[in-house]
Amino acid sequence: MTTFTQHVGRGVCSALVLLVLVALTHAKEPPKADAPTEPPVGERFDPDAPRPAPITPPSAEEIDAAIRRGVDFLLKRQNPNGSWGSAQNSKPSDIYAPVPGAHHAFRAAVTGLCICGLIDSGDPRPEVAQALDRGEAWMLDHLSKVRRSDPETLYNTWAHAYSIQALARLWQRQEKDPARQAKLRALLEQQIDMLRRYECIDGGWCYYDLRAHTQRPSGSTMSFVTATVLVALSDAKKTGVEIDPKTIRRAMDSIRRQRKPDFSYLYGEYLHDRPMRDINRPGGSLGRSQACNLAMYLWDDPKTTKAVMRTWLDRLFARHLWLDMGRKRPIPHESWLKVAAYFYYYGQYYAAGCIEQLDPAERAHFQQHLAYQLLPLQEKDGSWWDFPLFDYHQQYGTAFTLMALSRCRPDEK
């Protein structure tokens, strides 16, 4: 008995020693006095949210060089008719795209994004101006014809939203030509009316109606689609067009119903009774939260503060691996936390919009992290892409990134 007790005692002591050694091995070392630290930048909604590690920021020259290469890519890939993107290069895993309406919508949305990317780049070269003139002409000729693809599919929502952003920028670009401004303004108002027609019954917007296939879509509103539209309408407001406040209120109410206390957002209202599914957790919401926070802030939601945006920018840069693991995967939502590849550059663009809303003195910290994340991902041909989608993906990925990087320049305050 005594021998047994002694053995047990020695075993317990050995286990305790082992636990102490493991604890010491995994204990965090205290920061060295000369270790680089991130500057304190404003208050956070969640003080315990993860913070990104210190980085060596890219130089202004590196950012400008990447932007120029991206612009060159878009110039090279513009279609002869002035648009960007096509239905070529399909693959078995391409998303559902009923012809021809889905591709009319994709091409219009991608063309709108490319116009925005070129304008935001600030590239003064004459060939850029010529490309923008051709893109504007295409939009004036084709955009008003974009419609719902079929009773189930509403990809036209993306087309209207990104076309509105492009038209608002083109309108500002043509400030010395009132006649062209009038045409652009008329088309802008027509696109806003199209969004009104395709607003969901319960407010907000979607891209599928899998319920009753009604004229006024009965499908579940999607937080990020509604946010995309709200950001576009905020751009349109700068041109002086009238935006129905009731439409804005319904859209914001839709996003509020999908907003969780930590400011992660449900993928869509159809998941309201499953808020803790992987896709609705913070890692699954990294891209959506940037868009939804920006949209709600632009339309003066009292709960969406700068502190909220700072917290979620920190989350994006500290844990962007959740988005990056999905990047370039060919099947939507096959990655961890059900992240789809096409949320990568989408999320970076709206993060840049959130940074733009912060006080000038605190932007540099976040601009540096965003540029640090984006520059290494540029392809050899100058493009950026995250999801293989017919012949649209390189164009939209590059456009999103140009808009994001243009807001990362050190002199952009």
The stretch 58-69 carries a mean pLDDT of 98
| Whether pTM exceeds 0.75 | yes
Q: In this predicted structure, what is the pLDDT of residue 413?
A: 43
The stretch 325-346 carries a mean pLDDT of 96
Q: Max alpha carbon distance in the chain (Å)?
A: 102
Closest to 186 measured CA to CA, from 167, 214, 173, 165: 167
Q: In this predicted structure, what is the pLDDT of residue 92?
A: 67
Closest to 205 measured CA to CA, from 217, 193, 188, 191: 217
- Label residue 379 left, alpha or beta by phi (over 0 means left) and psi (-120 to 50 means alpha): beta
Rounded Cα distance, 241 and 229, in Å: 15
Q: In this predicted structure, what is the pLDDT of residue 47?
A: 87
- Under the banding of pLDDT at 50, 70 and 90, the label for residue 12 is very low
Chain CA centroid to CA 374, Å: 13
Residues 6+ apart with CB under 8 A from 305: 45, 297
The string of pLDDT tens digits covering residues 236-252 is: 999 999 999 999 999 99
Indicate whether 59 pLDDT > 60.
yes
C-alpha distances in Å from residue 26, one per residue of 22, 51, 107, 243, 393: 6, 20, 52, 56, 43
The stretch 321-326 carries a mean pLDDT of 96
Least confident of 68-72, 87-91, 373-377: 87-91
Q: In this predicted structure, what is the pLDDT of residue 38?
A: 54
Indicate whether 16 pLDDT > 80.
no
Q: In this predicted structure, what is the pLDDT of residue 7?
A: 45
Q: Which residue type occupies 279?
A: I
Least confident of 33-47, 86-100, 326-340, 351-365: 33-47
Q: In this predicted structure, what is the pLDDT of residue 388?
A: 95
The string of pLDDT tens digits covering residues 287-313 is: 999 999 999 999 999 999 999 999 999
- Contact assessment for residue 225 and residue 203, using Cβ atoms and an 8 Å cutoff: no
The stretch 196-215 carries a mean pLDDT of 96
Q: What is the mean pLDDT of the chain?
A: 91
More confident residue, 202 or 39: 202
User: What is the percent of the chain with per-residue pLDDT over 70, rounded to a whole number?
Assistant: 89
The stretch 306-321 carries a mean pLDDT of 97
Q: In this predicted structure, what is the pLDDT of residue 191?
A: 98
Burial (0-12, 13-18, 19+ Cβ within 10 Å), 163: buried
Positive or negative CA dihedral for 91, 94, 100, 104?
negative
What domains can be seen in the chain, in order of their start residue? 45-405 (1.50.10.20)
For residue 245, what is the DSSP state?
A: H
The string of pLDDT tens digits covering residues 256-285 is: 999 999 999 999 999 999 999 999 999 999
